[in-house]
Amino acid sequence: MKNRNNFHNMDVKFIFQRISQKLLEDFRISSQISQSVVKGDFREGYLRDFLESGKIPPKYGIGSGLIINTSNEESNQSDLIIYDRDKCPTWMFDKRVQVFPIEGIYGVIEVKSSLAKKDLLEELAKIEKLRKMVPRGAVLPFGIIFAYQLSNNSLDSLEKNLSDYQKEKSPSLWPNLVVVLREGIILQLDRGLKRILKPEDFEQSVRPAAYSFKTDTLFEFYSALFSILSNTHLGTLDIGNYRELPSKVGSHLVKNHIFTKKDKKSYELSETFINKIFLYCQKEGSKTLGEIFILQSGSIPPGYFTEDYLLSKCYYYNPENLPGIHQVNEPYKINEQGRPVWNKRLKTPSTYVEIDNEIYMFPEVYVWDDEANNLTEVVEKDLES
């Protein structure tokens, strides 16, 4: 008869030591592959398989690819992205490239074959870029660097490198962990030598410290990761905010700047024209929508707009002080198709562009006055390139 009490004597750390040894052996075999892309797939795949084989609950999905925010900023390509499988969608360009909204991810693990100072700084820069993308009030995603081996250096030297880096950076940008398999982990400690795992709790008094866990490194990494995940509660993800993402035009985030001409091709307002609108309007100051209606037509359409809407502020671009429709005789004629044909350059018809989350209205005629400089043809991006 089998002894049912044998499970009480199970050494969990021993199990992780054997798994760690297997991970390292598989990695060493993959190191014989010459193609770096394939080698990278193996390197990340081993760690992904380890985590997906029941080590973390199924609510946590593991993907790879890009992370975006509602300002249309995107992260570097991340090796392993842990996201909320129940609430976070993944948009896939192809089998290799997934895209995740930042509000739905818990964090990233960047995986390296070996970890020299140069590699460490490169991965820290990726985590820094990701943290800077986080919307105000949202949860900071964790950032972990995981390496299979050192690179003619030591864990203590990496601790020094990280300490120097953190002296120059805001605590909100620091990594959670730096892990080197079967060597040890660099953790963040407070003044009382307590481990600080969540980036929200990082402050100037926190410092990195290297622990040489050796064969227990994988267990300590898993334990810390599980603790971070268990104590992180993501906020609300509103996919509607991703309906129309702004474009980066020069130093501005811009929306509603796409026009379709008679050739049925799409054109966008040029960086030069957007800057011209922005600089002029910032100098002139904002107006209410009610004031702009009066400038354009001499009156406000009765009973159509709410008072709050008419009092809302925006900017108005009209450097030539073009006349309104009420200031000229016969401003337009009706053509055979029943559409107005404007006889003069007027404030109407007008349109708007959104620059850095603010509305800038302007007469459309300014777009067509100098199409060569004010419009740029939109070229569709090849997602596989």
For residue 42, the model assigns a pLDDT of 67
Q: What is the per-residue pLDDT across 215-260, written as a single tens digit (0 to 9) for each?
A: 999 999 999 999 999 999 998 898 888 877 888 888 888 989 988 8
**Average of pLDDT values for 145-156?**
96
**Judgement on whether residues 294 and 251 belong to the same structural domain of the protein:** yes
| 24 part of a folded domain | yes
Contact 94/65 with Cβ under 8 angstroms?
A: no
**Domain that includes residue 296, residue range:** 246-377
Q: Is the dihedral of CA 202, 98, 68, 169 positive or negative?
A: positive
For residue 298, the model assigns a pLDDT of 92
| 314 part of a folded domain | yes
**Judgement on whether residues 179 and 309 belong to the same structural domain of the protein:** no
What is the rounded distance in angstroms from the CA atom of residue 355 to the CA atom of residue 166?
A: 34
| 382 part of a folded domain | no
**Judgement on whether residues 272 and 174 belong to the same structural domain of the protein:** no
**Judgement on whether residues 221 and 315 belong to the same structural domain of the protein:** no
Q: Which two tokens stand for residue 351?
A: 């349109």
Residue 82 scores a pLDDT above 90 = yes
For residue 228, the model assigns a pLDDT of 97
**Judgement on whether residues 57 and 120 belong to the same structural domain of the protein:** yes
Residue 38 — very low, low, confident or very high, per pLDDT cuts 50/70/90?
A: very low
Mean of the per-residue pLDDT values of the chain: 87
| 384 part of a folded domain | no
| 343 part of a folded domain | yes
**Judgement on whether residues 311 and 348 belong to the same structural domain of the protein:** yes
**Judgement on whether residues 214 and 322 belong to the same structural domain of the protein:** no
**Judgement on whether residues 227 and 81 belong to the same structural domain of the protein:** yes
Q: Which of 234, 209, 19, 67 is nearest to 137 (CA)?
A: 234
**Judgement on whether residues 203 and 319 belong to the same structural domain of the protein:** no
C-alpha separations of 199 from 51, 144, 195, 202, 342 in Å: 22, 11, 12, 5, 59
Q: What is the pTM of this model?
A: 0.70
**Judgement on whether residues 14 and 98 belong to the same structural domain of the protein:** yes
| 33 part of a folded domain | yes
Of 221, 240, 259, the residue that ends a domain is 240
Q: What is the per-residue pLDDT across 292-341, written as a single tens digit (0 to 9) for each?
A: 999 999 998 777 788 888 999 999 999 999 999 999 888 888 888 888 78
**Judgement on whether residues 227 and 257 belong to the same structural domain of the protein:** no
Residue 89 — very low, low, confident or very high, per pLDDT cuts 50/70/90?
A: confident
Residue 141 scores a pLDDT above 90 = yes
What is the rounded distance in angstroms from the CA atom of residue 116 to the CA atom of residue 170?
A: 23
Of 240, 275, 308, the residue that ends a domain is 240
Residue 35 scores a pLDDT above 50 = no
| 321 part of a folded domain | yes
Q: What is the per-residue pLDDT across 176-230, written as a single tens digit (0 to 9) for each?
A: 999 999 999 999 999 999 999 999 999 999 999 999 999 999 999 999 999 999 9
Of 127 and 70, the one with more pLDDT: 127
Number of domains into which the chain is organized: 2
Of 206, 240, 274, the residue that ends a domain is 240
| 1 part of a folded domain | no
**Average of pLDDT values for 65-88?**
92
**Judgement on whether residues 128 and 70 belong to the same structural domain of the protein:** yes
Q: CATH code at 130?
A: 3.40.91
Q: Which two tokens stand for residue 293?
A: 């209606």
